[in-house]
């Protein structure tokens, strides 16, 4: 997973660092999602934490559909380093990426 580099750990949004940690925990099975979720609930409450989880799930699902159908990167993403990341991580070698 690529999370990028922001000028500030919070990405310039309220509780951004907390939300980033929660997102990474959801997407990375080696992390403790229960701990990250509990931290979000403590700060944001149940409803906002559930909304954050749903946004992560929605984006992850959209990416999986795009990958499975072989949709290519748009020109802006490609020029912005997307193709380089694909090459660096050898993503074209994954089964879902094969035509």
pLDDT for 95: 55
pLDDT for 33: 93
pLDDT for 99: 47
| Signed CA dihedral, 20, 25, 26, 28: sign only | positive
Q: Pick from 42, 35, 22: which is nearest to 11 by CA? A: 22
pLDDT value at 34 more than 80: yes
List the end-to-end C-alpha distance of the chain, in Å, as a whole number. Answer: 23
Confidence of residue 5 (pLDDT cuts 50, 70, 90): low
The pTM of this model reads 0.62
d(CA 20, CA 34): 14
């Amino acid at each position: 997973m690529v999370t990028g580099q922001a000028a500030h750990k919070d990405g310039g949004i309220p509780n951004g660092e907390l939300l980033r940690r929660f997102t990474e925990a959801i997407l990375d099975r080696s992390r403790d999602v229960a701990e990250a979720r509990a931290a979000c609930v403590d700060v944001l409450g149940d409803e906002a934490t559930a909304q954050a989880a749903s946004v992560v799930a929605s984006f992850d699902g959209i990416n999986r559909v795009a990958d499975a159908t072989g949709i290519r990167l748009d020109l802006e993403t490609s020029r912005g380093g997307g193709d380089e990341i694909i090459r660096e991580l050898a993503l074209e070698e994954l089964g879902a990426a094969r035509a």
